[in-house]
Amino acid sequence: MRARSSAINLIMMLGVIRRRVASGGSSASVFGQSFQASRPVVSTSRVSSIAEKEVLLQPRGFGQVRNFGHLVVPGCSVSLRPMREVVASIQREATMQMLSRPFSSDNGDLVDAVVPFMGESITDGTLASFLKSPGDRVEVDEPIAQIETDKVTIDVTSPEAGVIQKFVAKEGDTVEPGTKIAIISKSAEGVAPVAPSEKASEKAVSQPSPPSEKVEEKQKPKVETAPDTVRPKAPSTPPPKRSATEPQLPPKERERRVPMTRLRKRVATRLKDSQNTFALLTTFNEVDMTNLMKLRSDYKDAFVEKHGVKLGLMSGFVKAAVSGLQNQPIINAVIDGDDIIYRDYVDISIAVGTPKGLVVPVIRNAEKMNFAEIEKEINTLAKKANDGSISIDEMAGGSFTISNGGVYGSLLSTPIINPPQSAILGMHSIVSRPMVVGGNVVPRPMMYIALTYDHRLIDGREAVFFLRRIKDVVEDPRRLLLDI
């Protein structure tokens, strides 16, 4: 009888819940009130003695509630699921909805512009600058802001054509993929661009006029004061004299403090790690550029006519580096823990200085390229690096680096290794110097070259042989044809 009475009470409770939900009440709130009200009626200890058959009841209107109770009939058991299981189920569904949100949310007329996916190794970035202003008209996929990461600068584009209503992020904020930065109106409703004259008038109104000093003087009450007694002034101590060795520091007003960009901080960290990890050693040699420059001069017009790109000196050094790496495979290897990884491919990284910092795009499989293919790839990567459109994949990897400081006029330097590589070749400016050729002193266009290598892995013998191979191939490019 008690079980039947409990079943009737629970059925009545479900009917009340169903009517309240149908009338517009919140399913969660109605369920909580009804559940609290039903607690004293049903006792778990009493019901547990009944047969172990269960009938699942899921009333309509409880789309978010799972397994919230069981219907009681004669010969069946009753068990009420704890409230925390229901809440956990609702939270899981809400979390899945948040994780599955798209990278641009559309709410009717308003569209959110959000930060795109920035790469597997990049979790966040800094909102560097806005390329547009509120009220500006934008087209589909038009960049409206730039995100600066540790490696590249990424554009945030507009998902729809419309007018920028407002920005919801500020320059300098740290943002993650999916972060909303702007709201765009597709119909341009509710967007009122402010004219410059209106801005000026608002500023003038917002600045209150300073109170008149005369009015303040009139409002102050006059207070009669006794004549001050004349007191002898204490002798002022003279300022301390600076010693002759004390440095004269410039005033702080002539200094500027500017925060480092993420790219600059990343470069600084990697170069310092390289200095702390590798046993850096540099060896030098000099190259006579006469024959390579003559080859370039003789065939530059025919080269451009056939391949559509100019013949430069960099392709000759890339081919020479490939030959040197194939002759000395240890230069192309790297230490990984207690092992040495030998690479059977040659990916040449080319250091490119940009206004935002140093980037190192990679020429993949350089051993399979000819002069024309190398020149085209260098031009493409350099252009992308300078305009900021280079991707992370185009800079990842690389087994050997070439840095050409000669384009800036550097005569001699010791380049630093780009981790996780083991060596780097430094090129420098070409200077005409007197050289002894065939017993005669003649002027020759000469270039100093430098190889910095990890002495933990590479001995001086291999480093000198590699640099000697660079010198031989550049001074006589015919060696590449004959493979000698």
CATH value at residue 138: 2.40.50.100
Mean pLDDT of 259-265: 84
**Cβ 66 vs Cβ 89: under 8 Å:** yes
Cα–Cα distance for residue pair 161/454, rounded to 1 Å: 53
Q: Check whether 98 has a pLDDT greater than 50.
A: no
- The reply to whether 202 falls in a domain is no
Q: Which of 77, 99, 121 is the last residue of a domain?
A: 99
416 and 324 housed in the same domain: yes
- The reply to whether 243 falls in a domain is no
Residue matched to tokens 């990884």: 341
| pLDDT tens column, 351-405 | 988 877 788 999 999 999 999 999 999 999 989 888 878 888 888 889 999 999 9
Q: Which of 131, 151, 185 is the last residue of a domain?
A: 185
- The reply to whether 352 falls in a domain is yes
Distances (CA, A) of 214 to 217, 218, 441: 5, 6, 90
Q: Check whether 308 has a pLDDT greater than 80.
A: yes
272 and 402 housed in the same domain: yes
- The reply to whether 211 falls in a domain is no
Cα–Cα distance for residue pair 277/269, rounded to 1 Å: 12
381 and 360 housed in the same domain: yes
- The reply to whether 386 falls in a domain is yes
- Predicted model pTM: 0.58
For residue 477, how many other CB atoms are within 10 A of its CB? 17
The mean-pLDDT minimum among 36-40, 362-366, 374-378, 413-417 falls in 36-40
Pairing state between β 440-454 and 430-437: antiparallel
Q: Check whether 346 has a pLDDT greater than 80.
A: yes
176 and 45 housed in the same domain: no
Q: Considering all CA atoms of the chain, what is the largest pairwise distance in Å, rounded to the nearest integer? A: 124
95 and 110 housed in the same domain: no
Mean pLDDT of 431-449: 95
Question: 210 versus 403: which is more confidently predicted?
Answer: 403
318 and 416 housed in the same domain: yes
92 and 110 housed in the same domain: no
Q: Which of 167, 185, 203 is the last residue of a domain?
A: 185
| pLDDT tens column, 214-249 | 444 445 444 444 444 445 555 556 555 555 566 677
- The reply to whether 237 falls in a domain is no
- The reply to whether 238 falls in a domain is no
350 and 438 housed in the same domain: yes
311 and 443 housed in the same domain: yes
168 and 54 housed in the same domain: no
389 and 340 housed in the same domain: yes
Q: Give the mean pLDDT of the chain.
A: 76
Q: Check whether 298 has a pLDDT greater than 50.
A: yes
Specify the pLDDT at position 99: 37
273 and 355 housed in the same domain: yes
- The reply to whether 152 falls in a domain is yes
Cα–Cα distance for residue pair 175/129, rounded to 1 Å: 13
* Residues spanned by the domain of 372: 263-482
Partners of 106 in beta bridges: 111
What's the pLDDT band for 15 if we cut at 50, 70, 90? low
The residues that are catalytic are 455, 459
The mean-pLDDT minimum among 7-16, 55-64, 149-158, 259-268 falls in 55-64
The number of distinct structural domains making up the chain is: 3
